[in-house]
Amino acid sequence: MKSVLSVFILATIISTSLIAQESGRKIPAVDVKKLDQTTFNTGDISNDGKPIIINFWATWCSPCKRELNTIAEVYEDWQEETGVKIVAISIDDTRNVPKVEPYVNGQAWEYEVYIDPNSDFKRAMNVNNVPHTFLVDGNGNIVWQHNSYQPGDEDELYELVQKLAAGESID
């Protein structure tokens, strides 16, 4: 009887957590810093029902900078066509925090940039290493994620953004 009970409980847990998974994961609410060092809560990330790309990067991460600099060249077109917004989360710590804003402006990025100096948001989003990209649909659900970057990855990402913007499922 005991085993039946435990199997039943286990099944309940699994099924309920599976149901929960399907309903989609929202962006966790964690305090990060704006470029002017004031506090911003990631629960407030939004884009008027249009898709959002959340990208974790750092000033010391070469592939991260390759990715964000490559996308920067086409970002205007992406925004015009799909309304997508890119939120770039720098995981630089105290050592490099003062270099983030000069780098972002120096490269003339138009992204919304936040700094996560003690990796609180990185932990909450279960990011192992950078670059790590999340795609969030118009309802605020995280629907896709990708780790690392190589040239051409931005094409796959944009195809998914276009699908989301058109209201299609990306599975």
Partner 1 sequence: MLRKINVLAAGLIISAFSGFSQELLDGIQIHGNIDIYGQTYNEDSIIGAPVVPEKAGLNAFTNLIATKGAFTAGVRFESYMPPIQGFDNRYGNQKVGIPYRYVNFVKEGLDITVGNFYEQFGTGMILRAYEAPSLGYDNVFDGLRVKYSPFRGVYLKALAGNQRYYWNKSDGIVRAFDGEVQLNELFTKFNESKLRVALGGSFVSKFQSAGISSITLPENVASWASRVQMNYKGFGFTGEYAYKINDPSSDNNFIYRAGQGLFLSGTYSTKGFGINVSAKTIDNMAFRSDREATINDLFINYLPALTRQHTYNLSSTLYPYATQPNGEIGLQADIIYKVKKGTKIGGKYGTTIQVNLSAIQGHDTTRLSNPNELLTQEYLPNDPTRQGYKTSLFSVGDETFYRDYNIEITRKINKSIKLKGSYIHQNYNIDLVQGTATGSNVIADIAVMEGTFKLAKKHSIRAEAQHLWTAQDQGNWAFALLEYGYSPHWIVSLLNQYNYGNSNKALRVNYPTAQVTYIKNANRISIGYGRQRAGIFCVGGVCRNVPAANGLTVAITSSF
Contact positions vs partner 1 (CB under 8 A): 1, 4-5, 8-9, 12-13, 16-17, 20-21, 23, 25, 28-29, 36-39, 59-62, 66, 93-99, 101-108, 117-120, 123-129, 132, 144-148, 150-153, 155-156
- What is the smallest separation between the CB atom of 18 and partner 1, expressed in angstroms? 10
- What is the smallest separation between the CB atom of 7 and partner 1, expressed in angstroms? 11
Our CB check for partner 1 shows the closer of 83 and 132 to be 132
Q: Angle of helix 62-82 relative to helix 153-165, nearest 10 degrees?
A: 30
Give the CA-trace dihedral at 140, 68, 161, 76, to 10 degrees: 110
Our CB check for partner 1 shows the closer of 84 and 127 to be 127
- What is the smallest separation between the CB atom of 19 and partner 1, expressed in angstroms? 8
Measured in degrees and rounded to the nearest 5, phi and psi for residue 52 equal -130, 135
- What is the smallest separation between the CB atom of 47 and partner 1, expressed in angstroms? 22
CA distance 17 to 131: 28
* Closest to 156 (Cα-Cα) out of 129, 133, 140: 133
